Structure 1
Amino acid sequence: MGKTNKIKKRRLEKLACSLIDIYSPSGKEEEVLSFLYRYFCSLKIPVKKQKVDESRYNLVIGDENNRTIPVLCGHLDTAPAFNLDRYESVKKRYVIEGLGAADMKGGCAAIAEAFVCWYENYRKNPPLNLIFVVGEEDTEDGIEEFLKEYRPTWAIVAEPTNLAVCAGHYGYLEVEIATFGYRRHASLANTEHNAIYTMFRAIKKITDFLDKDKKSISYNIRDVHSSDAGFAVPDRCSAWIDVHVPPFEPLEEVAANLRNILEKVFTNPRDSVKFPSFYPGYQISAGFSILGSLKNIYIQKGLKWSVEDFRSHSDANIMKVSGVKPLILGPGQLAKAHSENESISISQLKTASQLYFELLQSISLS
């Protein structure tokens, strides 16, 4: 077979649709893993299963014995479906719709096609490995298991960035608040005994602080639950808040401020605040050589070059804590992710895959 140096658009679209059609929320990725493992085996591309738990594993494609080789990374899990009758792919003229199209089965298809194109052209391992991990949307056990065995020097994570290169990454703070009261008959309720009232005050104080003093920080009140008290005063209430902090904001300072605010609101000795997830933001230096390689490719292809910050949490946060230099670059828009009408541009999907392939070529020549 002669060298084409071009990814195959129809094969890419078919793979993206096939991945979307397999329902794979976090913790239930077995079917999509099996499909992708068989896909690479059928093309005689070396692929390794790296065990994560009894039924789930990561996939490592390329030189499995090289523990420090850079990687292209995708996660195969998605958020839960809004409607189990309407999560599958729908291909239209310009877009592919479906659960995970943007986050990030489109990105997974793009990096997979880039590797397939490399093997078709060069018949040898590329200068990067390709990894597909599980659990990114929930426990992050996939990337954590990968980093126990491998420590790549740098990585590109194919999260949806609308093809902007993200060298900066917001930090992520998960806030878990628990408030307690005293169960008693509803007709005898007062604010002192009501766990929900204390929680309302706690959330109001936090949001006032973030809205007025920390406008660069974004947050989401993800869940609020109380004990099922019936016709009685609830004695427990829990809340979880996601806080996304720009790279220049010290995450330790933000956490300390939130703790101080909450401790002034708490009325019960059992009231508490925890930070189960704590991942500082980061900024990769503008002098990083891979940024230069990517910029050259963008200029050659007539694409807009911009370096931005990724606003969400991702496996890149965990990589950075482990000493890896992660960039984020992928097709799709973050605003489309986790939405009921999730979709990805077919044109952007193709462009992303070609970018990844040309980056492999550029690195192999350097």
Structure 2
Amino acid sequence: MDEDFVVKVTSDLIKINSQNPPGYTKGVVDYIKDLLNDNGIKFEIYEFEKNKQNLIAKIGNGSPTLILNGHMDVVPPGDENKWIYDPFSGKIVDDKIFGRGATDMKGGLATILVATLQLSDIIEKSTGSLIFVASADEEVGGHAGMQGLVKNNLIKGDAALIAEPSGYNRVSIGEKGLCQTKILTKGIPSHGSMPLLGENAILNMYKAINIAKETIDELNSKIIIPNDVEFAIKETSKTYESVIKEKKLNISVEDIEKQLKSVSFNPGVIKGGSKINMVPDYCELELDMRTPPGCKCENVRNLLKNKLNGIAEIYPIDTSESNFTSTEERITKIALNSVEKILNKKPELHIESGATDGRYLRAIGIPTIIYGPGELFLAHSYNEYVKVYDLKMALKVTKNIITEFLNIKSS
């Protein structure tokens, strides 16, 4: 089982269609089961929603315990005519493996799976233990995946590594919170030729959006970022430099840094009215806000409720608070040292702008880092790929993290 094995596993996993929806993971689980069985590793399968299987394998019974996690579902490929190769081909061209989920995150899943297989014998003989978790449903919130596993007390450990695409030279220690909110405005219907006789719910929504945006802008001027993540945010903003140049965006790295430190404001869906010649009596907006560390979603919603009192109603859609793992945690230090040791270069710290399954682990007190191959900018894109070099380097770093955390001495 040489280092090229991780390339084969990545390609094989991409070939298994696990797009979500519907998010069925049995095909991926069956593939992983065969590899675990071949190596004598025991596992359990859990299902909280039909056809969305989760797999947990454990090696060793001692302490400390390190959790390795990767999700098996991927987003749909979209218009397949826009792909150079079949999105489920797993085609290897030069130094790249193409396909939906290559970066997010069949490559990362392959990395932790191969690391588990290659180190299983020495872990079994060590005083520590390793838990491998292949979870479902992450792309639609993780409710039938990691959240379900956590709710049922099936996940316990001293630290966790999630192999989402951080970049092989980067360690991510936190993420912004999810504060998805519905704004509802009402009106009085009348004939469209005489709007004075009614009240237009869409115009009321226009007013509500402006007030909400002004409220969030004012809030952002007062947010104080914890010192632990201030540096990580600055490092993260630099990673966007290549994207800004490639897409010729009229923004700066400083703008990105400011955004990461702020509550983002994105009206994503709006519905209102039923006929062009009627004054609409109903309008609703789905607002996606992401909160930085140091800012709670509940406080943001309460602020909006107060400002929009008498104008609009506010309802939660989905919530998870911003969360991060301290740079002083043992898992963080080991990960950073491992990157530097294997790559011979200074590692970068990173903060996720979106949500990961790390939120569920941190919520139960498990220090969690994100480390895996691939560039986040390629996730969910057409012609998604992961580089072979990145896979091999991430595998080496991951194996070093495991052995260091479990106190396994190199022979």
The normalised TM-score by structure 2 is 0.77
1:283 to 324, 327, 352: 324
What is the letter of the counterpart of residue 136 of structure 1?
E
Aligned residue for 1:20?
A: 14
Aligned residue for 2:173?
A: 167
Aligned residue for 1:29?
A: 24
Identity %: 24
Aligned residue for 2:2?
A: 8
Structure 1 362/200 Cα, relative in aligned 2: closer, same or farther at 3 Å? Answer: same
Aligned residue for 2:131?
A: 129
Conserved 8 A contact 1:195-1:235: yes
Deviation at 1:356, TM superposition (A): 1.3
1:200 to 195, 202, 206: 206
Conserved 8 A contact 2:266-2:288: yes
Aligned residue for 2:239?
A: none
**Matched position secondary structure for 1:29:** coil
Deviation track 1:253-280 (CA, whole Å, cap 9, x = no partner) reads 32322332333532xxxxx212232222
What is the letter of the counterpart of residue 369 of structure 2?
L
Deviation track 1:10-54 (CA, whole Å, cap 9, x = no partner) reads 321222122222222334223333333334334433222122223
What is the letter of the counterpart of residue 308 of structure 1?
H
Structure 1 364/213 Cα, relative in aligned 2: closer, same or farther at 3 Å? Answer: closer
Structure 1 46/282 Cα, relative in aligned 2: closer, same or farther at 3 Å? Answer: same
Q: Say if 2:266 is the partner of 1:220.
A: yes
Compute the RMSD of aligned alpha carbons: 2.9
Q: Distance in 2 between matches of 1:230 and 1:313?
A: 38
Deviation at 1:334, TM superposition (A): 1.9
Structure 1 338/227 Cα, relative in aligned 2: closer, same or farther at 3 Å? Answer: farther
Deviates more, 1:192-201 or 1:48-57: 192-201
Deviation at 1:115, TM superposition (A): 1.0
Consecutive unaligned residues of structure 1, counting only runs of 5 or more, are 1-6, 267-271
Conserved 8 A contact 2:171-2:348: yes
Consecutive unaligned residues of structure 2, counting only runs of 5 or more, are 221-258
Q: Say if 2:50 is the partner of 1:87.
A: no
Aligned residue for 1:255?
A: 301
What is the letter of the counterpart of residue 114 of structure 2?
E
Deviates more, 1:232-241 or 1:294-303: 232-241
Conserved 8 A contact 1:185-1:233: yes
Superposed counterparts of 1:279-358, under 5 Å: 279-301=320-342, 302-358=344-400
Deviation at 1:225, TM superposition (A): 2.8
What is the letter of the counterpart of residue 32 of structure 1?
V
Deviation at 1:300, TM superposition (A): 1.8
**Matched position secondary structure for 1:187:** coil
Q: Distance in 1 between matches of 2:73 and 2:52?
A: 11
What is the letter of the counterpart of residue 285 of structure 2?
A
Aligned residue for 1:3?
A: none
What is the letter of the counterpart of residue 347 of structure 2?
W
Q: Distance in 2 between matches of 1:222 and 1:65?
A: 47
Deviation track 1:220-240 (CA, whole Å, cap 9, x = no partner) reads 333223354465344433322
Structure 1 87/208 Cα, relative in aligned 2: closer, same or farther at 3 Å? Answer: farther
What is the letter of the counterpart of residue 258 of structure 1?
L
Q: Distance in 1 between matches of 2:363 and 2:215?
A: 28
1:77 to 73, 82, 97: 73
Conserved 8 A contact 1:316-1:327: yes
Deviation at 1:138, TM superposition (A): 1.3
Aligned residue for 1:51?
A: 47
> How many residue pairs were aligned?
355
The normalised TM-score by structure 1 is 0.85
Q: Say if 2:286 is the partner of 1:240.
A: yes
Q: Distance in 2 between matches of 1:241 and 1:68?
A: 42
Structure 1 196/17 Cα, relative in aligned 2: closer, same or farther at 3 Å? Answer: farther
Q: Distance in 1 between matches of 2:41 and 2:335?
A: 26
Q: Distance in 2 between matches of 1:68 and 1:221?
A: 44
Q: Distance in 2 between matches of 1:364 and 1:233?
A: 66
Conserved 8 A contact 2:331-2:367: no
Q: Distance in 2 between matches of 1:139 and 1:168?
A: 17
Deviation at 1:63, TM superposition (A): 4.1
Q: Distance in 2 between matches of 1:363 and 1:313?
A: 25
Superposed counterparts of 1:106-145, under 5 Å: 106-119=107-120, 127-141=129-143, 142-145=145-148
Superposed counterparts of 1:59-74, under 5 Å: 59-63=55-59, 69-74=65-70
Structure 1 71/259 Cα, relative in aligned 2: closer, same or farther at 3 Å? Answer: same
Conserved 8 A contact 1:68-1:151: no
**Matched position secondary structure for 1:263:** coil
Conserved 8 A contact 2:66-2:406: no
Deviation at 1:133, TM superposition (A): 0.9
Structure 1 146/180 Cα, relative in aligned 2: closer, same or farther at 3 Å? Answer: same
Q: Distance in 2 between matches of 1:229 and 1:66?
A: 66
Structure 1 111/190 Cα, relative in aligned 2: closer, same or farther at 3 Å? Answer: farther
What is the letter of the counterpart of residue 350 of structure 1?
K
